[in-house]
Amino acid sequence: MKIYLSADIEGITGSIHWNEGSADQPEYRYFQEQMTKEVAAACEGALAAGADEVLVKDAHYTARNIIPDMLPEKTKLLRGWTEAPEMMVAGIDEGYDGAVFIGYHAAAGSNASPLSHTMNPKLQSVTCNGEPLSEFDINAMTAAYYKVPVLFVSGDAGLCKAAKAAYPGIHTVAVNEGLGGGAVCLHPHTAIVKIREAVENAVKGYKKAGLCPMPERFRIEICYKEHAMAAKALNYPGIAHKDDTTVVYEADDYMDVMKMFFWLL
Ligand SMILES: [Zn+2]
């Protein structure tokens, strides 16, 4: 049994400020370690549930955050950006039995996390058929494209609530509860214990997990904070103008959507 794991940092326990995810800031070291510990706990849970292999994708910023020797030995770590349209779930394919997400956060514009954003903090919002899209949603659809069920997500309470509503059967651990520019956060050790236990349970039930539901047609709207970015986006094939900061893209094949996201988010 093979498990794919993607990890971000803005939904790691205690993370509430951009500096905490920036390698050039002194606060970063602590959060880099906590991110690694949460990923390691998830890997241990997956291995205890019978996984033979766990591929970990470091999926924040430089993609060089996770401290490799703190992960269990049966894991493999994908560092850096492959420049494939799968982005934060690069390397995923039909061979995986389930996907696990650690450290994820609410969609751009949401009050559920002080760090809510979708791929790029310069975006005001991204929607699919009128519903807000988080990075987790984008990656869950990519997993579904490759027929891999999403088993688990940890991050802020708002994201976990949205994930439970959209993907019945998913296991979640809410580590932070956003309140405007702040958040109430679990104790970091408590979060690690909960993640290990919940991932073990989620992976044990992988055969019962369903795929993330995929729409038949995708109508994507991207609203940029700066009008110049929308003007640039209009050069991508198939992109239409909605207003000076918002562009629209429609497709039936999610691979086309992934490629568009890769260039425009
Ligand atoms: Zn992120």
For residue 17, the SS3 value is coil
Q: Give the separation between CA 246 and CA 241, rounded to whole angstroms.
A: 7
Residue 260 lies in a domain: yes
Same domain, 19 and 77: yes
Same domain, 141 and 245: no
Among 237, 250, 259, which Cα is nearest to 130's? 250
Same domain, 6 and 110: yes
Q: Residue 23's pLDDT is what?
A: 96
Taking the centre of ligand 1 as the mean of its atom positions, its distance from the CA of residue 121, in whole angstroms, is 9
Helix%, strand%, coil% for the chain, nearest 5? 35, 25, 40
Same domain, 155 and 238: no
Taking the centre of ligand 1 as the mean of its atom positions, its distance from the CA of residue 89, in whole angstroms, is 12
Q: Residue 163's pLDDT is what?
A: 95
Q: Residue 210's pLDDT is what?
A: 82
Same domain, 227 and 202: no
Residue 129 lies in a domain: no
Same domain, 171 and 226: no
Same domain, 145 and 258: no
Residue 123 lies in a domain: no
pTM: 0.97
From 208, 234, 256, the end of a domain falls on: 208
* DSSP code per residue over 81-124: ----TTGGGTT--TT-SEEEEEEE-PPTT-TT-TT--SS-TTEE
Q: Residue 168's pLDDT is what?
A: 82
Q: What is the CATH number of the domain that holds 169?
A: 3.40.50.10780
Residue 107 in contact with residue 158, Cβ under 8 Å? Answer: no
User: pLDDT of the chain along its 265 residues, tens only?
Assistant: 999 999 999 999 999 999 999 999 999 999 999 999 999 999 999 999 999 999 999 999 999 999 999 999 999 999 999 999 999 999 999 999 999 999 999 999 999 999 999 999 999 999 999 999 999 999 999 999 999 999 999 999 999 999 999 988 899 999 999 999 999 999 999 999 999 999 999 999 998 888 888 999 999 999 999 999 999 999 999 999 999 999 999 999 999 999 999 999 9
Same domain, 76 and 188: yes
Q: Residue 213's pLDDT is what?
A: 86
Residue 125 lies in a domain: no
Q: Residue 6's pLDDT is what?
A: 98
Range of the domain at 226: 218-264
Render the burial of 40-74: b for 16+ CB within 10 Å, e for the rest.
bbbbbbbbebebebbbbbbbbeebebbeeeebeee
Q: Compute and round to an integer the Cα radius of gyration of the chain.
A: 17
Taking the centre of ligand 1 as the mean of its atom positions, its distance from the CA of residue 163, in whole angstroms, is 15
Residue 130 lies in a domain: no
Three-class SS string for 140-157?
Answer: HHHHHHCCCCEEEEEEEH
From 178, 208, 238, the end of a domain falls on: 208
**Residues near ligand 1 ion, CB 5 Å cutoff:** 8, 10, 135
Taking the centre of ligand 1 as the mean of its atom positions, its distance from the CA of residue 135, in whole angstroms, is 6
Among 111, 116, 105, 118, which Cα is nearest to 179's? 111
Overall number of domains in the chain: 2
Taking the centre of ligand 1 as the mean of its atom positions, its distance from the CA of residue 96, in whole angstroms, is 23
Taking the centre of ligand 1 as the mean of its atom positions, its distance from the CA of residue 111, in whole angstroms, is 15
Q: Residue 27's pLDDT is what?
A: 96
